[in-house]
C-alpha cells in the first residue's frame, strides 16, 4: 500500500468538514422552509377559494380585512413610537460606553431583549388599558414599541461601534460638533446595521400575539377608526381561530397565516435587497 501524504489527508479533512457544515446548515434551515411550504400549501387554497372578499370583508362575512389593516396600523405605530427612542438609546450607549448610565442602558437593553413579551402586555394593561377602561390600538402599539426598542437600540450601538474611529476624529478635526459627528457622519456610515435592526424589530412585533391579548382587544367586525378604540391583528386572529373546534376556522387561520407571511416578505425582502445594493455601491 502506498502511504497517504499530508496534503491528501488535509484535502480529505477539508472535504469532510465542508460536507458536515453543509449538512448542518441544511438541517438548520430545513424547519424554516418546512414552515413556509406548509403555510403556502394550506393557505393558498383558502385564498384562491374565497378570493378578494377574504382580504376585504369582516370576519362575520368570512374575511380578515380588519385584521390586515390592524396589523399594519399596530406595526407602523409601534415603529413610529419605538424607533426614535431606540435610536437615541443606542446612540447614547455608543457615545458614552463607560458612563454609569451608558453601561446601565446596555444591560437594560440586553434584559429587555430576553424579557417575556406577555409581561410587557400585562404592564401596558396596568398602566394604559385599566386607566382608560378599554382596549385600544394605542395600548397595543405601546406594548409592541417596548418590544421593538431593544432590537433597534442594540443594532444601532453595534453598527456605530463598527465605524472606524478615524472618521469620528476627522469630524472633530474639521470643527464639527458632537451632534454633527453622530448624526451626519457616524449614522450615515452605520445606516446598514441600523436599518437591519429596524427590520428585525419590525418582523418581531408584526408577529407578536402575547402582548396584544391584554392590550388590543381584537376588532374584526369593522375597520379601525381610531387609535383609542380596540383593534384586531392577524397574529391575534390566528390565535383565536385555532382555539375554535370548527374546521372552517382552522382553514381561515391558514389563509390568514399566508397573508401575514406575504405582507412580511413584501416589506422585508425589497428593503433588504436595496440595502445590500446600497452597501455594494
pLDDT at 277 over 70: no
Query: What is the reported pLDDT for 191?
Result: 87
- Are 82 and 144 contacting, i.e. CB atoms less than 8 angstroms apart? yes
Listed residue (233, 177, 245) closest to 205, CA to CA: 233
Q: What is the pLDDT of residue 114?
A: 84
Between the alpha carbon of residue 42 and those of residues 30, 243, 255, 258, the distances in Å are 18, 18, 7, 8
- pLDDT exceeds 80 at position 276: no
Q: What is the mean pLDDT of residues 119-128?
A: 93
pTM of the complete model: 0.86
Amino acid 196: pLDDT: 87
| Domain 53-280, CATH among 1.10.3720.10, 1.10.10.10, 1.10.10.60, 1.25.40.340 | 1.10.3720.10
Residue 219, pLDDT score = 86
> Quick one: pLDDT band at residue 281, thresholds 50, 70, 90?
very low
Share of the chain above pLDDT 70, in %: 95
For the chain, give every domain's residue range.
53-280
pLDDT of residue 124: 94
| Structural contact between residues 251 and 223, judged by C-beta atoms closer than 8 angstroms | no
Mean pLDDT of the chain: 88
- pLDDT of 67 strictly over 70: yes
Query: And the C-alpha cell for 179?
Result: 451632534
pLDDT attached to residue 280? 46
Share of the chain above pLDDT 90, in %: 41
Check if the beta carbon of residue 120 is closer than 8 Å to that of residue 143: yes
Per-residue pLDDT tens over the stretch 229-265:
999 999 999 999 998 888 888 999 999 999 999 888 8
Q: What is the residue whose three cell numbers read 458632537?
A: 178
Residues 144-202: tens digit of each pLDDT? 999 999 999 999 999 999 888 898 888 888 888 888 888 888 988 888 889 888 988 98
Residue 199, pLDDT score: 87
Report the pLDDT value the prediction gives residue 137, as an integer from 0 to 100. 94
For the beta carbon of residue 102, count every other beta carbon within 10 angstroms.
16
Question: For 89-118, what is each residue's pLDDT tens digit?
Answer: 999 999 888 888 888 988 899 888 888 899
Amino acid at each position: 500500500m502506498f502511504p497517504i501524504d499530508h496534503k491528501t489527508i488535509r484535502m480529505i479533512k477539508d472535504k469532510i468538514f465542508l460536507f458536515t457544515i453543509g449538512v448542518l446548515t441544511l438541517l438548520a434551515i430545513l424547519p424554516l422552509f418546512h414552515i413556509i411550504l406548509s403555510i403556502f400549501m394550506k393557505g393558498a387554497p383558502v385564498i384562491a377559494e374565497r378570493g378578494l372578499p377574504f382580504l376585504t370583508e369582516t370576519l362575520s362575512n368570512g374575511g380578515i380585512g380588519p385584521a390586515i389593516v390592524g396589523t399594519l396600523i399596530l406595526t407602523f405605530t409601534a415603529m413610529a413610537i419605538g424607533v426614535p427612542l431606540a435610536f437615541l438609546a443606542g446612540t447614547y450607549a455608543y457615545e458614552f460606553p463607560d458612563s454609569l448610565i451608558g453601561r446601565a442602558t446596555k444591560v437594560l437593553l440586553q434584559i429587555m431583549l430576553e424579557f417575556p413579551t406577555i409581561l410587557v402586555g400585562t404592564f401596558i394593561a396596568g398602566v394604559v388599558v385599566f386607566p382608560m377602561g378599554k382596549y385600544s390600538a394605542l395600548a397595543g402599539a405601546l406594548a409592541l414599541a417596548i418590544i421593538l426598542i431593544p432590537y433597534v437600540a442594540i443594532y444601532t450601538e453595534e453598527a456605530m461601534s463598527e465605524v472606524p474611529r478615524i472618521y469620528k476624529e476627522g469630524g472633530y478635526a474639521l470643527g464639527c460638533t458632537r451632534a454633527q459627528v453622530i448624526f451626519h457622519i457616524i449614522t450615515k456610515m452605520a445606516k446598514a446595521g441600523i436599518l437591519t435592526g429596524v427590520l428585525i424589530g419590525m418582523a418581531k412585533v408584526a408577529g407578536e400575539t402575547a402582548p396584544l391579548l391584554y392590550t388590543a382587544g381584537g376588532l374584526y367586525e369593522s375597520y379601525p377608526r381610531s387609535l383609542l378604540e380596540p383593534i384586531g391583528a392577524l397574529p391575534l386572529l390566528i390565535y383565536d381561530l385555532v382555539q375554535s373546534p370548527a374546521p372552517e376556522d382552522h382553514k381561515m387561520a391558514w389563509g390568514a397565516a399566508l397573508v401575514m407571511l406575504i405582507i412580511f416578505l413584501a416589506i422585508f425582502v425589497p428593503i433588504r435587497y436595496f440595502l445590500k445594493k446600497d452597501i455594494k455601491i
